[in-house]
Chain A
Amino acid sequence: MGHPAASVAAQERQTDVDFALIGHQENWRSAADVLAVLRGNERARLPDEEIREIFPWIPPRAVCHVEIASATGAKARGLYIDCFIPPDRLDCAYVHDNLCRVRAAAACAINRGAKIVSLGGFSSILIEGNFNQLPHRTDTIFTTGNTLTVAFIVQGIKKMCALQGREMSRSTLLIVGATGDVGSGCARCLSPLVKRVVLCARNAERLRTLVAELEADGSEVEIATRLEQESFAADIVVCAASLASPSLQLGCITPEAIICDAGYPKNLRPPENMTGARVFFGGLGQISGGLSFMPDFKGILNRHPFPDVAHGCLLEGMALALAGRFEPFSQGRGFITRERVEEIETIAALHGIHLAPLFNAEG
């Protein structure tokens, strides 16, 4: 068996880079597992203290090759690029440093000739869809992946309501983080399906703009800038707020509410006395044709209870690569419409990328 340099370097030269996925680790356990794979089985795992000391110094870079297989038989090859943002520095105090890391990761993708790049996790949130913050490039396209994320959130809500026998047309939908790209996209897609929509976000002006848009479509809409403000009695909840702080506490929802945790990181815990609430992680898809990594990071980079599951934000770039559509499908904020969601759903489905089985922190 050749040493790592020979085998991986040879692969790098043989394959085109159709796509790149930019992401980061959510917690120190994941970071430790990534380093353990890189060190190989013959070396002892690094102590936690060493990992916390070393990790922040690693410059953003490719970690492994990724291959995705389509239901049509086509394949796309790419790279997973990690920003190496320390998991305890995902909050706003480090926004400048983290932006630098995202840009450096983007530069890696450009230098490797990636045709399309998906921005996963905080990397997408940090630049808020504003690709002007990314390095200059001519042939590399970026997408936030938010449209496919919205598609999977909406599909997940519909599926959970069907499983619970919940009639959506009688429901009150609460969207937390409603004016974000994902939140507003969910609002446009779900408001026609429910009786009443409550939009919650910090920016009142953006809320009013979104309300006007939805009301023009015939929806009944209310707004709130704080969750504790009043009694919503929401029985369907989409949490699309991006907070790196401890669990988002919900009040003012019905005891058996269906709750989609669509934020990043997944930080939602309903109140302890609401044992009837059904929480599931939203925005996740599954690739029927399979997803492989070289070195083998299966179960490490995609740490989910089902195989070949990944976040919609990453899957969008891969789906577009399989379709040969190298275009910035999702960018900016507020442009996710029902039509765009249907379009990306069709592209993804053609290549065997579907809603993942529903699960939460318990499985």
Chain B
Amino acid sequence: MESLVSLNCSEQAMCNSPLPTASIWQDILAQAVTGELMAAMNYSSLSTICDEPEEVADALEHAQGEQGHAAAFAAEGRKIGVNVPNNVNARYWKRIREAFMRCIAERDFMACLIVQEIMLESFAVASYSRVGKAGPGSLGKTFAAIAAEEEGHIEHAMEILRAERAKDPQRFDDKVYRLHLDVMTTLTEMVAKECPNGQCELCHSSCVKPSLSEVGLTTVELRGASLQQYLKTLDALGLPGEVTLQWVTQLPV
């Protein structure tokens, strides 16, 4: 696949002695870079439906931040001697982007926040934290640092969303549920033990999932941690635990 966005790959910056597990990290980084680029695109799109200039500036600043994350991940790839591709039109990412754009089309600011901050960022925080512990050297540190930053983003969005929920909890929860059906099914498939619909269109050769154990990761852990973070985020928003538990147990595995 080709890189959709150039991230200033410098041949001179490439490491001369790649890690034995470099190809595995390449695929992991590809998912991270693509996710961050998608987040940047989402925030840019969000700026187009903001009413207030401050909100526009905030969204664009967020977009820039996510672009920076993508660049940082790409740089870590170069350090270990791999060129990290990205593909926002890859199977699962495309579906997520389409779901987000439906919220944009409806000019539903809150729905956009829910998709990006609650759903996508929850998964990012959880999976980046796990990768941060497993990753070697600065690669691991970069994942851990970005996980911490993303956690800060979630908390800011939570304040906005809690206030919105307080106005009409039933209506809010119904909205979250509709978005849950739209987005979480895709995210769950992404972290399933095997990709249920064939190649994800991001892994550079065969699926990386069976090889994750070579770098101290497993799909079980990544999936479990991501869904756990999602549930905890919904708890913090105030949604009833017995309701969200049903939602998650009904997701495909």
Chain A residue at minimum C-beta to C-beta distance from B249: A38
Question: Which B residues between 102 and 132 are near A, CB-CB below 8 angstroms?
Answer: none
Which of A5, A39, A54 neighbours the largest number of chain B CB atoms within 10 Å of its CB?
A: A5
Kindly supply a per-residue 1/0 record for chain A positions 18-41, scoring 1 wherever the CB is within 8 Å of any chain B CB and 0 otherwise: 000000000000000001001110
A63-B245 contact, Cβ under 8 Å, with A46-B253, A56-B224: yes
Q: Are the C-beta atoms of B174 and A8 separated by less than 8 Å?
A: no
Q: Are the C-beta atoms of A38 and B174 separated by less than 8 Å?
A: no
Contacts of A43 in B (CB 8 A): 250
Q: Are the C-beta atoms of A62 and B240 separated by less than 8 Å?
A: yes
A58-B174 contact, Cβ under 8 Å, with A5-B243, A9-B240: no
A9-B173 contact, Cβ under 8 Å, with A46-B253, A57-B224, A57-B228: yes
Closest Cβ of chain A to B62, distance in Å, is 28
Closest Cβ of chain A to B183, distance in Å, is 15
Choice from B177, B227, B228, B241 contacting A5 with Cβ under 8 Å: B177
Q: Are the C-beta atoms of B245 and A54 separated by less than 8 Å?
A: no
Choice from B170, B235, B245, B248 contacting A9 with Cβ under 8 Å: B170
Per the bound structure, the CA–CA distance linking A50 and B243 in Å amounts to 21
| Secondary structure dominating the interface of B | helix
Per the bound structure, the CA–CA distance linking A53 and B225 in Å amounts to 11
Per the bound structure, the CA–CA distance linking A5 and B249 in Å amounts to 13
Taking the complex as formed, is A296 at the interface, i.e. its CB lies under 8 A from any CB of chain B? no
Taking the complex as formed, is B29 at the interface, i.e. its CB lies under 8 A from any CB of chain A? no
Question: Which A residues between 46 and 70 are near B, CB-CB below 8 angstroms?
Answer: 46, 50, 53-54, 56-59, 61-65
Q: Are the C-beta atoms of A59 and B174 separated by less than 8 Å?
A: no
Closest Cβ of chain B to A15, distance in Å, is 11
Kindly supply a per-residue 1/0 record for chain B positions 214-253, scoring 1 wherever the CB is within 8 Å of any chain A CB and 0 otherwise: 0000001000110110011001000111111111111001
Q: Are the C-beta atoms of B253 and A58 separated by less than 8 Å?
A: no
A to B CB contacts below 8 Å, 28 in the list: A4-B250, A5-B173, A5-B246, A8-B243, A8-B246, A9-B169, A10-B170, A12-B240, A12-B242, A12-B243, A38-B246, A38-B249, A53-B220, A54-B253, A57-B224, A57-B227, A58-B228, A58-B231, A58-B245, A59-B231, A59-B232, A61-B231, A61-B235, A61-B245, A62-B240, A63-B242, A63-B245, A81-B241
